[in-house]
Amino acid sequence: DTGVSQNPRHKITKRGQNVTFRCDPISEHNRLYWYRQTLGQGPEFLTYFQNEAQLEKSRLLSDRFSAERPKGSFSTLEIQRTEQGDSAMYLCASSLLGGKGRAEAFFGQGTRLTVV
């Protein structure tokens, strides 16, 4: 499978616990994005990387959220001290910038987080 892969697909956690999600982008893609989507809404931008550099973070990304992309390949999104309001679908996308890249973003299936 050469698409964007996200793990786990589902996560149920107790309030106050830490959770970490992983995203494996399409291998040649240099840009990686994280979005959050709640029921009935469109995806909201959280952060993006170009290669290993985190270039932009949304104000939605509180201090409890941290994302990394070591070596410019896979990425992790960690949420510390989870709150019920963190319950959402977390989507990862990747794209290829430059050359013949047309900047379409390809999305993974998402990780659905439920905080109880």
Residues that bind another protein (CB under 8 A): 4, 6, 31, 33, 35, 40-45, 48, 50, 55-56, 89, 91, 93, 102-110, 112
Edge-to-edge strands, sheet with 5-7? 5-7, 19-24, 75-79, 65-68
- How many Cβ atoms from other residues are within 10 Å of residue 115's Cβ? 19
- Omega cis (within 30) before 25: no
Q: How far is the CB of 110 from another protein (least distance, A)?
A: 5
Looking at the Cβ atoms of 5 and 80, the one nearer to another protein is: 5
Q: How far is the CB of 34 from another protein (least distance, A)?
A: 10
Looking at the Cβ atoms of 67 and 91, the one nearer to another protein is: 91
Q: How far is the CB of 81 from another protein (least distance, A)?
A: 25
Q: How far is the CB of 42 from another protein (least distance, A)?
A: 4
Looking at the Cβ atoms of 53 and 63, the one nearer to another protein is: 53
Q: CA geometry: angle at 63 spanning 57 and 67, to 5°?
A: 50
The closest of 6, 8, 16 to 85, measured between CA atoms, is 16
* Spatial separation of the C-alpha atoms in residues 107 and 25, rounded to whole Å: 9
